[in-house]
Amino acid sequence: MTDSKYFTTTKKGEIFELKAELNSDKKEKKKEAVKKVIASMTVGKDVSALFPDVVNCMQTDNLELKKLVYLYLMNYAKSQPDMAIMAVNTFVKDCEDPNPLIRALAVRTMGCIRVDKITEYLCEPLRKCLKDEDPYVRKTAAVCVAKLHDINAQLVEDQGFLDTLKDLISDSNPMVVANAVAALSEIAESHPSSNLLDLNPQSINKLLTALNECTEWGQIFILDCLANYTPKDDREAQSICERVTPRLSHANSAVVLSAVKVLMKFMEMLSKDLDYYGTLLKKLAPPLVTLLSAEPELQYVALRNINLIVQKRPEILKHEMKVFFVKYNDPIYVKLEKLDIMIRLASQANIAQVLAELKEYATEVDVDFVRKAVRAIGRCAIKVEQSAERCVSTLLDLIQTKVNYVVQEAIVVIKDIFRKYPNKYESVIATLCENLDSLDEPEARAAMIWIVGEYAERIDNADELLESFLEGFHDESTQVQLQLLTAIVKLFLKKPTETQELVQQVLSLATQDSDNPDLRDRGYIYWRLLSTDPVAAKEVVLAEKPLISEETDLIEPTLLDELICYIGTLASVYHKPPSAFVEGGRGVVHKSLPPRTASSESTESPETAPAGAPPGEQLDVIPTQGDLLGDLLNLDLGPPVSGPPLATSSVQMGAVDLLGSGLDSLMGDEPEGIGTPNFVSPPATAVPANLGAPMGSGLSDLFDLTSGVGTLSGSYVAPKAVWLPAMKAKGLEISGTFTRQVGSISMDLQLTNKALQVMTDFAIQFNRNSFGLAPAAPLQVHAPLSPNQTVEISLPLNTVGSVMKMEPLNNLQVAVKNNIDVFYFSTLYPLHILFVEDGKMDRQMFLATWKDIPNENEAQFQIRDCPLNAEAVSSRLQSSNIFTVAKRNVEGQDMLYQSLKLTNGIWVLAELRIQPGNPSFMLSLKCRAPEVSQHVYQAYETILKN
């Protein structure tokens, strides 16, 4: 007698038969029928048609039958809301049952029925259950608040359930505390600004007490909640650490990792001289090592986190290298992670062991893993200078194996070693040249060609070697072609006499027979350089190259600090901050490590609190972690990459790019706005005459830059800045600026495809921000963006999006999607785009308001070096919607009283004091929301100085 009998079907039609059974008088038969219904439900069959019949079975004393009906209800109530009402009565009755199990079950099930009408009836029973005498009911009710919040947040707030929930944090039962914390955390996640989990030393103490007594899952919730707290000084931090440390010995790995998170974060506040600091460091290693003996899935998550920890505090695991050695039957995802950590831990002390291991891995079966292992050897050489020699000889041994992919991979990394240690290991070139014929992958071929070109003077038959590559020039991939071109030019500059013919040949191949603009451009550049000024050519092409460093693959420190706050979460697995990927950017607050100070005020005022990302250069672009090894070692052999050139020939690359884009726009085949890089007028307004610059004046763009700015009526428009460099977005470069014209805000974007493939399917999304900026229309890129093409788009914006306070206030996080990937960046928008046209205040009103705003809301700033007089200032500000309400002359000073209004209705009043002859102005700002003052001041600065 097993449940599989419930799956058997009859000819008559299952539903029909079930219906008859459900309405049977016999209890037993009813129960069996409900079981059959549930069984069908579990495998995904639709049995919603039986709703009324199943609900009829609900009134019963039989607990199992009741539970089964509840299970059914949860699944289907949504599809039959009217019918679901039938169940309400029973629920309400059950909430009064003397048996706590039934009370809890009723309130729990009711919360799972996501039907509005039912939730109304839920409030009263829920309120009772939250105060129930039985802790089992209370803890169930706590979770129910979270469920209800998910369905109807407003209702929960109106009914005051949040306060009741907060009270439960002080409940006498630890399980209730844990569930209340869990529920509050979940609610807080969708309400980032609310101070739901407002922690103070007292509540922390309660949590720490509950931590020792609640279930493992409760411990996770409490630890995660503790991690969000910022202790007021190092003593408090230490005492919390002391009480959390025992959790490191828990059998549940999630508890361990959450405890590690709390400790890693609070350690930041402890002084390194403290004895306790050292003890804590020692205590962290064993639990991390233990995580690695768990099941592979747990290992994987643990390894991703250890990867972060090792970067933040290498001292913790520096003696534990061996536990990261790879076992041959580890799953591939574990192997690759272990390998990455091994290299991070490699040092002079253990390099011999690491190399021996890596060499062993290079003979394994799995090709991907072998390749990574070979690359890792190269990374070791670059990281640990003393080991370079041994690494090179290991690589040579591997080349001797003649295994094709090993040889190719080895050559690629040897090239990097040459770049790090120039003129040191040329002796191996001969061995490399022997393997020339076996190279069939573009990357390896390109690397080999680079080596030949770079050391052309020491390779006797360099010209023959390069010539042999030249034969199939058109069949090669672009990176090989580019590399070959450069290499032959280098060879020519080194041995001009014998290779003139060769260089002519390659230049003509590149410029005349190739369709690839990159190649053609580079060809032309070389050609012109060589024909006009060979000496300059030599300086450019044979210039000294910057050394590559080992640190390129590390996670950027601010990002790392943020990620440390997210240990144990998905963010730590992806090595991206949650804002970058959590669904819909649901209100994510940037977390940051606490500062190492004992001051108690620093955490309160936003100005002094450590921001997650440094202001200034706001390019929070997340480097892709996927292929660190590949990225690190990828020279400019690939498609042209902007950004800090790691390149072999950085100088000529730059040159090529300059001209490259010029040529591109000369050929400009896209219809819109090539000649107007600085501003694209919003669709509604007339195009001013000076914007009608002729198409294709790629170079004149440069000159337009200065003359064009500011001549437009309307707000000041900053020149476009690069927001997302191509290097960080798989070849998509985005630069842009914000404009405000006749009441409409827009974001002017310039998208450049610097990748080799065509980009399509563009879309854009903003994270919630302080002023609710949101795209008013989808991002319209009409034609696919082909390589090296640039398109200008003006994206109209509105301010009706959802609002969340950002730090800094004018920060905007943007996600741009194309067919390749999704990219994230953040930028600061100038506040004056939010100044509305009806921002002129009546005089009386101005006076009254000025008096009305308390003096502590007044902020004073100095604007230096502004040569304008009061008239000019006034008119210039007016064009950006800062209106002069009144003007007075007091003791020879011009006083301008000005007003402006932001899109969200906030008024800002200003008093601008101008002394004729003195280029410094005094600006006093009064506003009910004083945090905007700083940004308004910046807006003044930008408008007046440009």
Partner 1 sequence: MIHSLFLINSSGDIFLEKHWKSVVSRSVCDYFFEAQERATEAENVPPVISTPHHYLLSVYRHKIFFVAVIQTEVPPLFVIEFLHRVVDTFQDYFGVCSEPVIKDNVVVVYEVLEEMLDNGFPLATESNILKELIKPPTILRTVVNTITGSTNVGDQLPTGQLSVVPWRRTGVKYTNNEAYFDVIEEIDAIIDKSGSTVTAEIQGVIDACVKLAGMPDLTLSFMNPRLLDDVSFHPCVRFKRWESERILSFIPPDGNFRLLSYHVSAQNLVAIPVYVKHNISFRDSSSLGRFEITVGPKQTMGKTIEGVTLSSQMPRGVLNMSLTPSQGTHTFDPVTKMLSWDVGKINPQKLPSLKGTMSLQAGASKPDENPTINLQFKIQQLAISGLKVNRLDMYGEKYKPFKGIKYMTKAGKFQVRT
Q: Rule CB under 8 A: which of 651-680 touch partner 1?
A: none
- Of 311-370, which residues contact partner 1 (CB under 8 A)? 319-320, 322-323, 325, 327-329, 331-333, 356-357, 360, 363-365
Can you tell me which of 15, 19, 56, 67 binds partner 1, judged by CB under 8 A? Answer: 67
DSSP state of 387: G
Compute the least distance from the CB of residue 484 to partner 1, in Å: 30
Can you tell me which of 49, 56, 81, 135 binds partner 1, judged by CB under 8 A? Answer: 135
- 143 in contact with partner 1 (CB under 8 A): yes
- 862 in contact with partner 1 (CB under 8 A): no
Q: What is the Cα–Cα distance from 576 to 625, expressed in whole angstroms?
A: 9
- 108 in contact with partner 1 (CB under 8 A): yes
- Of 388-417, which residues contact partner 1 (CB under 8 A)? 401, 403, 406
| Contacting residues for 574 by C-beta, under 8 A, at least 6 apart | 581, 625
**CA 683 to chain centroid:** 32
Can you tell me which of 539, 581, 595, 906 binds partner 1, judged by CB under 8 A? Answer: 581
- 689 in contact with partner 1 (CB under 8 A): no
Compute the least distance from the CB of residue 134 to partner 1, in Å: 8
Can you tell me which of 73, 144, 407, 459 binds partner 1, judged by CB under 8 A? Answer: 144
CA dihedral of 133, 135, 137, 142, whole degrees rounded to 10:
110
User: Could you tell me the two tokens for 726?
Assistant: 């191509």
Tell me which stretch binds partner 1 (CB under 8 A): 139-147, 590-598, 743-751, 837-845: 139-147
Q: What is the Cα–Cα distance from 490 to 480, expressed in whole angstroms?
A: 15
Tell me which stretch binds partner 1 (CB under 8 A): 422-430, 575-583, 708-716, 849-857: 575-583
Please state the φ and ψ torsions of residue 753, each to the nearest 5 degrees. Answer: -95, 110
Compute the least distance from the CB of residue 345 to partner 1, in Å: 14
Kindly tell me the sign of the dihedral angle through the C-alpha atoms of 476, 482, 487, 490.
positive
User: Could you tell me the two tokens for 501?
Assistant: 């013919």
- 111 in contact with partner 1 (CB under 8 A): yes
Contact predicate 724/624, CB 8 Å: no
Compute the least distance from the CB of residue 227 to partner 1, in Å: 11
Compute the least distance from the CB of residue 321 to partner 1, in Å: 9
- Of 500-539, which residues contact partner 1 (CB under 8 A)? none
Q: What is the Cα–Cα distance from 795 to 804, expressed in whole angstroms?
A: 21
Q: What is the Cα–Cα distance from 545 to 300, expressed in whole angstroms?
A: 39
H or E element at residue 674: none
| Contacting residues for 248 by C-beta, under 8 A, at least 6 apart | 256, 259, 260, 263, 283, 284, 286, 287
Can you tell me which of 297, 434, 669, 842 binds partner 1, judged by CB under 8 A? Answer: 297
User: Could you tell me the two tokens for 919?
Assistant: 């280029």
Compute the least distance from the CB of residue 102 to partner 1, in Å: 8
- Of 149-208, which residues contact partner 1 (CB under 8 A)? 150, 173, 175, 179, 182-183, 186, 189
- 295 in contact with partner 1 (CB under 8 A): yes
Can you tell me which of 378, 523, 578, 708 binds partner 1, judged by CB under 8 A? Answer: 578
Can you tell me which of 35, 420, 520, 545 binds partner 1, judged by CB under 8 A? Answer: 35
* Residue 247 or 490 having the CB closest to partner 1: 247
Cis ω on the peptide bond leading into residue 808 (within 30° of 0)? yes
Tell me which stretch binds partner 1 (CB under 8 A): 135-143, 505-513, 592-600, 802-810: 135-143
Nearest by Cα to 477 from 757, 733, 729: 757
List, as own/partner pairs, every contact residues 403-406 make where C-beta atoms lie below 8 angstroms and the sequence separation is at least 24, other chains included: 404/438, 404/440, 405/367, 405/370, 405/371, 405/441, 406/362, 406/370, 406/374
| Cβ neighbours of 224 (radius 10 Å) | 19
Compute the least distance from the CB of residue 9 to partner 1, in Å: 15
Site string for partner 1, 588-607 (x = CB under 8 A): --------------------
- Of 230-269, which residues contact partner 1 (CB under 8 A)? 246, 249-254, 256-258
Compute the least distance from the CB of residue 364 to partner 1, in Å: 6
| Contacting residues for 57 by C-beta, under 8 A, at least 6 apart | 22, 30, 34, 65, 69
- 125 in contact with partner 1 (CB under 8 A): no
Site string for partner 1, 887-916 (x = CB under 8 A): ------------------------------
Contact predicate 837/743, CB 8 Å: yes
Can you tell me which of 9, 20, 52, 64 binds partner 1, judged by CB under 8 A? Answer: 64
Site string for partner 1, 84-103 (x = CB under 8 A): ---------------xxx--
**CA 384 to chain centroid:** 31
- Of 730-749, which residues contact partner 1 (CB under 8 A)? none
* Residue 247 or 926 having the CB closest to partner 1: 247
Nearest by Cα to 415 from 197, 715, 632, 608: 632
* Residue 144 or 877 having the CB closest to partner 1: 144
Q: What is the Cα–Cα distance from 472 to 464, expressed in whole angstroms?
A: 14
Helix ranges restricted to H, 460-574: 462-470, 478-494, 500-512, 517-532, 534-541, 557-564, 570-574
Can you tell me which of 11, 12, 43, 460 binds partner 1, judged by CB under 8 A? Answer: 43
* Residue 147 or 312 having the CB closest to partner 1: 147
Contact predicate 680/737, CB 8 Å: no
- Of 823-852, which residues contact partner 1 (CB under 8 A)? none
Region of 945 please: left (phi>0), alpha (psi -120 to 50) or beta.
Answer: alpha
HSE, CB side, 13 Å, CA atoms: give it for residue 472.
9
- Of 441-460, which residues contact partner 1 (CB under 8 A)? none
* Residue 49 or 254 having the CB closest to partner 1: 254
The total number of residues written for the chain in this structure = 946
- 813 in contact with partner 1 (CB under 8 A): no
* Residue 111 or 660 having the CB closest to partner 1: 111
Contact predicate 469/484, CB 8 Å: yes
HSE, CB side, 13 Å, CA atoms: give it for residue 906.
18
Label residue 627 exposed, middle or buried (CB < 10 Å: 0-12, 13-18, 19+).
Answer: exposed
* Residue 50 or 269 having the CB closest to partner 1: 50
Compute the least distance from the CB of residue 619 to partner 1, in Å: 24
- 134 in contact with partner 1 (CB under 8 A): yes
Can you tell me which of 16, 20, 63, 274 binds partner 1, judged by CB under 8 A? Answer: 63
Compute the least distance from the CB of residue 784 to partner 1, in Å: 22
Contact predicate 680/792, CB 8 Å: yes
Please state the φ and ψ torsions of residue 717, each to the nearest 5 degrees. Answer: -120, 125
Site string for partner 1, 763-782 (x = CB under 8 A): --------------------
